Amino acid sequence: MFGMKFFILAVFALTSCVAKPTTRELYEEDLKLERQLKLINKPSVNTVKTEYGDIYDCIDFYKQPAFDHALLKSHEFHPEMRPSNMNGLEEVGKEEEKEEGDNEIEVECPHGTVPIRRTTKEDLIRQKTFNQMFDSNIHPLTDSEPGNRVISKYVDMDFGGGFAHFSLYQTPNVHQLQFSSGLIKVSNGTDFIKAGWTVNPTLYGDNRCRKFAYFHTRDQHCFNTNCPGFVIVNNNSPLDYAFPKVSEIAVRIMECRFYIYRDPQNGNWWLVTGKGKKQKALGFWPAKLFTDLAYNADEVYWGGELFTIPNSKTSPMGNGLLIKHVDDPRLYAYARDCSVVDAKTQKAIGVAEVNSEEVTDFDGWYGRRKAHIEKYWGHTIMFGGPAKLIKGN
């Protein structure tokens, strides 16, 4: 079967009455958090503080959290690793007619180290609440992704990955226990990987537009490096970094290309951002972490995603504008030049060249797609809209 998907997603959580914890319970919980912090925050070679107040620890490559995973205790990975056909990756994207403004992301950790955002006690508390909400729901479209709703475009065949150029937005009015994202997702069975931009105040404690990744297997699932698995190789472009510049409606467009790619030589799934000279291989999820994605992907999605609690308004999606002018994607959040990598030939294929399907559980409120003749835009999906009242499942 051949096909492809674009999406808009929203998540709903169930609430319950919980007894107020005792003083002793609070004390024990605090000790538990302190122990977690010691395990999560590895000893650093150097520390970098960003203008937004984030602290990144430069961790020795071989001491990063990924190698706490039981399956990665014995490995032959090293900091010089790159996708086996990195040169080919640089040639996959179509030539652009003009520069729309890629972000330059630098943290400048020493060679042989990798940047990891330092986790605070407050981060752990927010993450615990978020994870309880995020994991307690039932996905209306799939069983593997709890509670999310989506508007997307997808392709269904044998894939070695996919990519798109996403416009970056700091979605307005995103509150606690909500997020708004633009992303690409590759999946097979219950395994999937997502990457893109997100505004997630519960996860990060602010409303900045940040780079993120999320992976899901039969045994674990988490954002970024919040659980062991993602092996970082890049020493100056970390996950969850706040983009220094984002798009402004009718003023400027800032983009980032997100590329999820399976190395055919070893089966590792790479996350690559940017294009041309600014292209960077951030790291990879080793093949041995997966069951279904240990081989190729059979679905690739692009689009927008929302999370919110039930019986309340969602956050806006994208830049908050409802899509009315499909011939002018510059007005909206978009994923352009949506393409996949044929697993057999290792060549890029535009979405328009394969069968595809649009998936949404928002009744078309948030998404539009359009195939453009100009190679700059390729197959483009626009996603976005104002807050919307969603009733619980």
Helix axes 23-40, 121-134, angle to 10 degrees: 100
Beta partners for 46? 58
390 part of a folded domain: no
The domain total for the chain is: 1
- In a domain, residue 22? The reply is no
Provide the sign of the torsion angle of the four alpha carbons 368, 374, 378, 384, taken in this order. negative
- What one-character-per-residue DSSP string does 149-196 give? EEEEEEEEEEEEEEEEEEE----SS--TT-EEEEEEEEEETTEEEEEE
pLDDT tens across the length of the chain (393 residues): 333 444 444 433 333 344 567 877 667 777 888 888 888 889 999 999 998 889 999 999 999 999 999 999 999 999 999 998 765 555 444 444 444 445 566 789 999 999 999 998 888 888 777 766 665 443 434 444 433 444 555 555 688 999 999 999 999 999 988 899 999 999 999 999 999 999 999 999 999 999 999 999 998 888 999 889 999 999 999 999 999 999 999 899 999 999 999 999 999 999 999 887 788 999 999 999 999 999 899 888 898 888 887 777 888 999 999 888 777 889 999 999 999 888 888 888 877 655 556 656 555 556 666 666 577 888 888 888 898 876 654
Domain housing 350 = 32-87+102-385
**Domain for residue 143, yes or no?**
yes
Does residue 126 belong to any structural domain of this protein? yes
Phi and psi, residue 377, nearest 5°:
-90, -35
Cα Rg of the chain, angstroms = 20
- Residue the block writes with tokens 């590329």: 259
Q: What is the DSSP string of 244-266?
A: S---BTTTB--EEEEEEEE-TTT
In a domain, 151, yes or no: yes
Residue 16 falls inside a structural domain: no
In a domain, 159, yes or no: yes
Q: Is the pTM of this model over 0.95?
A: no
